[in-house]
Structure 1
């Protein structure tokens, strides 16, 4: 695959993340419960590590529209860590835990900046993230079974996790 093709795929996913987050702004930045549907795209990192870049950049740009410039850095760092952990996790279902646990970064950010209670904020952020990730799990599990789709979105030529989990079913 050419470098241009890789860059296009990475850019398109970042753009989809940004547009989905901003277009659904009321849900994406909704009070104590973060219900950012674009987070479902995190499952792309499960199949290809190049999408970690897309998701981190998409999150950073989207967070310019959030409550604080600090969120550009904290939220993006949380996305970087979560998507990297998702890529390293062998099970797609288990990989859900990383973005949910990453909600602690956002809770700490809100606690430091606005003095909101950490555990309450962590709970509400984690509930929203868990709901989105469970929904995303079912959506992407079905999408990853489509061989034509999978071959089109893969950046690396082979991914043993996907081939083992989805091609044999």
Structure 2
């Protein structure tokens, strides 16, 4: 894949993340339990580490619309760690845990900036992330069955992670 194709691929996935986050703004940034549907895209990093960059950039840009400029850096760092951990995890269902645990970084950020209770904030942030990631698990389990989609996304085959997903 050429350098231009790689940059376009990064830009498209980042743009999908940004647009879906901002378009669903009330849901993405709403109250204690935010449901950022764009987080489902983290499953792309599960099958290919190339998407870690796209998702981190997408999160950084989307966080410009959040509550604080600090979130651009802290939230993006949490996404970077979570997507890297997802890529390193062999089981797709188990990989759900990393973005959920990444909510602790956001909870600490909110605790430091706004003096909100850490454990309450972590619980509510993690709950929202868990809901989105479990839904994303089922959505991407279906998507990963679609060989035309995988070919279009230039997912390399054989891909042990896709082969290990139980589709029944």
Matches within 5 A, 1:101-140: 101-140=101-140
Paired positions, count = 168
Query: CA shift at 1:2, angstroms?
Result: 1.8
1:14 and 1:5 mapped to 2: Cα distance?
14
Q: Is the 8 A contact 2:17 2:58 kept in 1?
A: yes
Structure 1 unaligned blocks of 5 or more: none
Q: How far 1:33 moved relative to its partner?
A: 0.9
| Structure 2 CA distance for aligned equivalents of residues 140 and 94 of structure 1 | 14
Taking a change above 3 Å as real, the CA distance of residues 52 and 102 of structure 1, as seen in their structure-2 partners, is: same
RMSD between superposed Cα atoms in Å: 1.4
CA contact (8 A) 2:141 2:165 kept: no
Is the 1:144–1:150 contact (alpha carbons within 8 Å) kept by the matching residues of 2?
A: yes
Q: How does 1:20-169 map to 2 (within 5 A)?
A: 20-156=20-156, 158-165=158-165
CA distance in 2, matches of 1:85, 1:97: 9
* Structure 1 position 165, deviation (Å): 3.0
Following the alignment from structure 2 to structure 1, what is the Cα–Cα distance between the partners of residues 104 and 116?
13
Unpaired segments of 5 or more residues in structure 2?
none
TM normalised by structure 2 equals 0.95
Shift of 1:7: 1.6
